[in-house]
Structure 1
Amino acid sequence: MTSATDTPPPPEPAPGKGLRGDSVGLLATIALGLASVAPAYSIAITLGLVTLVVGDLAPAALVLGFVPILLTAFAFRELNRRMPDCGTTFVWNTRAFGPAVGWLAGGWTVLVATVLAMTALARVGAATLLAFLGLGAAAGHTPTVTAVAVLLIALVVTVAYRGIQLAAQAQYAMLGLQLLALLAFGIAAFTRDGAATPSASWVDPFSFDDFGSFAEAVLLCLFVYWGWDALITFNEETVDSGRTPGRAAVASTLILLVTYLFTAFAAISFAGTGSAGLGLGSPENASDVLTHLAPALLGDTASRVVTLAIAVSAVGALLTCAGSSPRATLSMSAHGALPTAFGRVHPRFRTPAFGTVFCGAAAAVALVLLTLVSADFLGDAILSIGLLIAFYYGVTGFACAWYFRRQLRDSPRALLVKGVLPVAGGLMMLAAFVRSAWDMADPDYGSTSLGGVGGVFLLGVGSIVLGGVVMLLVRARHPRFFQDGRTAVTALVVTEN
């Protein structure tokens, strides 16, 4: 048996899980990663909030928020090279820290964050699509928006069910529209009479007035980048599965940084950060900067393309979520950590059939239930995603350094990319987790509270605690995975080399 303290040697190749290998190349994988972040939607709803906190230092916050994301991407790249399994964080954390950490931090937390994100994306996609169609009254009617959102979930589940190639082709079109709309918005803003000349001080990381505002802004920016790791779950279906997803992960995060900085500089140059009129510091504009500024920049007709881009952005991310989560549950089932039903692969489409339908149904049910409880409750559930992101990203950064600890002395490169950078990313994510948990515990944070504790904190930390309870129940039904320790995912990693 392999020692728990040594990095195990590569096992012999095992039979595949039934997914269609060599289906997508580097470009398609990058597109999947970018689409999963929903760039148009993410920057539209976040830029104004960041500006409210730090003014014209919003671009600096975007850069600083990018740093832990990039460091985490290096950890994902190195771990995927060693273990290109569609279970990604579940497999990696299990191999590094054991089955309990792998199941909770690498499996459960990621799935909960994704399901909550799907509820948000479906709602935004539905409301924005209705607005684009000129149905403003319907876009403000909660039951109508919820019904359309459920239909959107059903649509993307159908596409995801039919295969990765169809999903990738759809993402090309949707991502292209987003990037084109952001480019048009930026060019119009920069060339507008009276637009301010961009200043290097806007990206000065030493200009923040206090640590509190700095931390809050950076935490908001973490959400802007989150989602790129979904592309790794398609690694068993990519060409050169050991290298392509890792390269796509780093490339997609860099493309996001450039896109976001371009849009932020353009918006600040045109509208400024004041609290009056179109200023980004206006609370009325903060919820959706692009929608509020587009009519003044592009006119009413052309601005509708920006509205459509935001709707498409949300739907594109929803589609990637509908494809990534079932592959995570497929891996967990293949390694004995979930019921065998999640391991069923459609004989024709070669997709995780049961898992795809299950994850879509879970998102639809969560959306309806949270909406029935309270629209505010749903909003707080979405805000709690930040805690879950910082938690599993941070653990994975530490897992990379721990797993490769015996190789860190092999070369300066190994020490840097397998040890120093992942640990630095993990520490930053841990700091983000602690700071955000502290802020979210305040009853005034978000829209709900219970017993003097903020609802966002209870939902975020509560999700992790609930995962521990569920893990105990799963352990009783699937003892082999938890008893065998790290070796439980060694013999079954299907593409490791």
Structure 2
Amino acid sequence: MTLNPHDIDSGARVGAPPASVGKGLRSGTVGLLGAVALGLSSTAPAYSIAVTLGLVTMTVGQLAPAALVIGFVPILFTAFAFRELNRDMPDCGTTFVWNTRAFGPWTGWLIGSWVPTVASLFAMTALAQVSATYLLSIVGLDGLAGDGTAVTVTGLVLLAGATVLARRGLQIATAVQYALLGLQLLALFGIGFAAFTRPGAATPALSWINPFAFQGAGPFAESVLLCLFIYWGWDALITVNEESSDADRVPGRAVLISTFVLLASYLFTAFAAVGYAGIGTTGIGLGNPANATDFLSTLAPSLVGNALATVVQLAVCVSALSAMLTCLVGSGRGYLSMTAHGAMPEAFARIHPRYRTPTVGTVFFGAATAVTLVVLKLASPRFLGDAILSIGLLIACYYGATAFACVWHFRHRLRASVRDLLFKGVLPLLGGLMMLAAFARSAYDMVAPDYGSTSFHGVGGVFLLGIGSIVLGVPVVLLVRHHFPRFFREGKTSVVQPTVNESRS
């Protein structure tokens, strides 16, 4: 494969949406079911609900199911934006390409690439730690599971294994995801069914999903931001759009299917858990701080017995592992697209001759995650926790920007039909505004020094990590602009045609 960054297709029509270009990926590899599996796996449903439901309950009590529904609304509206943009511009660069096309190279690189990359890095550090902790506990090494160094080393080993698997190709990765996803959903619905049928469990009430019962904007915004984290990740499936059987339709359908499956499984689990355990601050109550970050491990022994409780632990472990795998798959393809459009070094366009995967990009992201994990761990375990809490800000930032990008990109087509007005304009706009509101309110709350575990000169560490990560992207983009001036000089047309073409031997 030779790379020629100056070989531009002379037939390119300036102003046309970027077509799905030959980047060396193997097309037709992923069908609808495989795309849905990747989307669900990337959200790590068992892990996400296990570490978040308790925190949501501590914030809003029995309204936790309502928070899940309210948090789903901006996600759904944003999913419509992703679907419509993918139909018009099926490119594995997704948010990078779409934001560049709508708002220009600066926004594309900073908001469409840098912000989701940082969010993914922070999330990957958490996933590596969680999977390592659970694995050590499952195999009986409880002492090592409580040792920070042992957990970090085990997490690095698991990360290396996931990187190797992601490098091997989508067919292997998707097959593995089927098994991992099946175990997660089985565990969630098994725990939920056991809780629902347990004598003495409270009957779910409609008041638990009343969106008007929240006490104040602060708890509402905080709970919604937590729920954004629960749903976040389904967009990773769109990064395989150029390898899908129908690039402009299958990923969009998979996005909607996966988000609704997530909503159903989360609501089922939340209703069951709140009804069985209650919201008390002692014992197995979901409001107990001791249970906040892993209610599944607390409830499983009394619901299904110790043997099956180990299966639940295994489900959370593989949930984190499967999300790691999907993040690696998506990130490598994002770098490939950026390189194809002239926004990153040519090395990231290298495709494995046998597996047809972006080798350099995949390995680079795996290595970057390892470095981030070690640096944050050496800085302070509490620092790592605040980094994870800041992810919600980053999610709201780039999801909201992409929703606005949809509205702006299709602004001249909104009058074509009622459908276009609704799905390309009104709903994405509402989704973007909701994301912006959640971002602003949460950023305001996170400034407080007691928000999270660390602070610096009276400013909360979560705020500094979240907003600081976005601000840090500015000098990074300035550096990129210096090395790739052509991409920034060509403005919104930078992604009309690729600036790196591949000739296959």
- 1:16-68, Cα deviation, whole Å (9 max, x unpaired): 00001000100000000000000000000110111111111100000000000
Given that residues 14 and 492 in structure 1 are in contact (C-alpha distance below 8 angstroms), is that contact kept between their aligned partners in structure 2?
no
SS at match of 1:405: coil
Residues 369 and 203 (structure 1), Cα distance of their counterparts in 2 relative to 1, 3 Å cut: same
SS at match of 2:328: helix
Residues 368 and 153 (structure 1), Cα distance of their counterparts in 2 relative to 1, 3 Å cut: same
Instruction: Give the Cα separation in 2 of the matches to 1:474 and 1:169.
Output: 37
Instruction: Give the Cα separation in 2 of the matches to 1:392 and 1:328.
Output: 15
Question: Are residues 1:233 and 2:239 paired?
Answer: yes
Question: Match for 1:194 among 169, 191, 200?
Answer: 200
Find the counterpart in structure 1 of residue 123 from structure 2.
117
**Pairwise mapping of residues 161-240 of structure 1 onto structure 2 (< 5 A)?**
161-240=167-246
**Pairwise mapping of residues 326-341 of structure 1 onto structure 2 (< 5 A)?**
326-341=332-347
Given that residues 51 and 273 in structure 1 are in contact (C-alpha distance below 8 angstroms), is that contact kept between their aligned partners in structure 2?
yes
Task: Tell me the CA shift for residue 211 of structure 1.
Answer: 1.9
Instruction: Give the Cα separation in 2 of the matches to 1:395 and 1:318.
Output: 25
Find the counterpart in structure 2 of residue 364 from structure 1.
370
Task: Tell me the CA shift for residue 241 of structure 1.
Answer: 0.4
Find the counterpart in structure 1 of residue 443 from structure 2.
437
Find the counterpart in structure 1 of residue 404 from structure 2.
398
Given that residues 72 and 228 in structure 2 are in contact (C-alpha distance below 8 angstroms), is that contact kept between their aligned partners in structure 1?
yes
Letter in 2 for 1:189: A
Percent of pairs with identical residues? 64
Task: Tell me the CA shift for residue 7 of structure 1.
Answer: 10
Letter in 1 for 2:272: A
Find the counterpart in structure 2 of residue 148 from structure 1.
154
Question: Are residues 1:256 and 2:262 paired?
Answer: yes
Question: Are residues 1:388 and 2:390 paired?
Answer: no
Residues 172 and 494 (structure 1), Cα distance of their counterparts in 2 relative to 1, 3 Å cut: farther
Question: Are residues 1:244 and 2:261 paired?
Answer: no
Task: Tell me the CA shift for residue 100 of structure 1.
Answer: 0.5
Task: Tell me the CA shift for residue 15 of structure 1.
Answer: 4.7
Find the counterpart in structure 2 of residue 3 from structure 1.
none
Given that residues 20 and 90 in structure 2 are in contact (C-alpha distance below 8 angstroms), is that contact kept between their aligned partners in structure 1?
no
Find the counterpart in structure 2 of residue 85 from structure 1.
91
Tell me the TM-score normalized by structure 1. 0.97
Given that residues 14 and 496 in structure 2 are in contact (C-alpha distance below 8 angstroms), is that contact kept between their aligned partners in structure 1?
no
Task: Tell me the CA shift for residue 284 of structure 1.
Answer: 1.1
- 1:43-97, Cα deviation, whole Å (9 max, x unpaired): 0011011111111110000000000000000000000000000000000000000
Question: Are residues 1:284 and 2:290 paired?
Answer: yes
Find the counterpart in structure 2 of residue 416 from structure 1.
422
Question: Are residues 1:311 and 2:317 paired?
Answer: yes
Given that residues 20 and 91 in structure 2 are in contact (C-alpha distance below 8 angstroms), is that contact kept between their aligned partners in structure 1?
no
Find the counterpart in structure 1 of residue 434 from structure 2.
428
Letter in 1 for 2:403: G
Instruction: Give the Cα separation in 1 of the matches to 2:471 and 2:362.
Output: 25
Aligned residues: 489
Letter in 1 for 2:27: G
Task: Tell me the CA shift for residue 126 of structure 1.
Answer: 0.3
Residues 7 and 212 (structure 1), Cα distance of their counterparts in 2 relative to 1, 3 Å cut: farther
Instruction: Give the Cα separation in 2 of the matches to 1:461 and 1:294.
Output: 37
- 1:167-220, Cα deviation, whole Å (9 max, x unpaired): 000000000000011111011101111111111111111111222211111111
Residues 346 and 137 (structure 1), Cα distance of their counterparts in 2 relative to 1, 3 Å cut: same
Task: Tell me the CA shift for residue 493 of structure 1.
Answer: 9.3
Instruction: Give the Cα separation in 2 of the matches to 1:213 and 1:135.
Output: 38
Instruction: Give the Cα separation in 2 of the matches to 1:66 and 1:92.
Output: 22
Letter in 2 for 1:37: T
Given that residues 14 and 494 in structure 1 are in contact (C-alpha distance below 8 angstroms), is that contact kept between their aligned partners in structure 2?
no
Give the CA RMSD over aligned residues: 1.5
Letter in 1 for 2:297: T
Task: Tell me the CA shift for residue 283 of structure 1.
Answer: 1.1
Question: Are residues 1:407 and 2:434 paired?
Answer: no
- 1:110-169, Cα deviation, whole Å (9 max, x unpaired): 111111111110000000111111211111100000000000110000000000111000
Given that residues 119 and 395 in structure 2 are in contact (C-alpha distance below 8 angstroms), is that contact kept between their aligned partners in structure 1?
yes
Question: Match for 1:268 among 264, 270, 274?
Answer: 274
Instruction: Give the Cα separation in 2 of the matches to 1:15 and 1:171.
Output: 27
Instruction: Give the Cα separation in 2 of the matches to 1:106 and 1:178.
Output: 30
Letter in 2 for 1:46: T
Instruction: Give the Cα separation in 1 of the matches to 2:33 and 2:418.
Output: 30
Task: Tell me the CA shift for residue 295 of structure 1.
Answer: 0.5
Letter in 2 for 1:331: S
Find the counterpart in structure 1 of residue 351 from structure 2.
345
Task: Tell me the CA shift for residue 487 of structure 1.
Answer: 1.2
Letter in 2 for 1:243: R
Task: Tell me the CA shift for residue 10 of structure 1.
Answer: 4.5
Find the counterpart in structure 1 of residue 137 from structure 2.
131
Given that residues 104 and 492 in structure 2 are in contact (C-alpha distance below 8 angstroms), is that contact kept between their aligned partners in structure 1?
yes
Letter in 2 for 1:49: L
Instruction: Give the Cα separation in 2 of the matches to 1:34 and 1:356.
Output: 20
Letter in 2 for 1:379: G
Residues 59 and 290 (structure 1), Cα distance of their counterparts in 2 relative to 1, 3 Å cut: same
Instruction: Give the Cα separation in 1 of the matches to 2:380 and 2:21.
Output: 47
Given that residues 15 and 494 in structure 1 are in contact (C-alpha distance below 8 angstroms), is that contact kept between their aligned partners in structure 2?
no
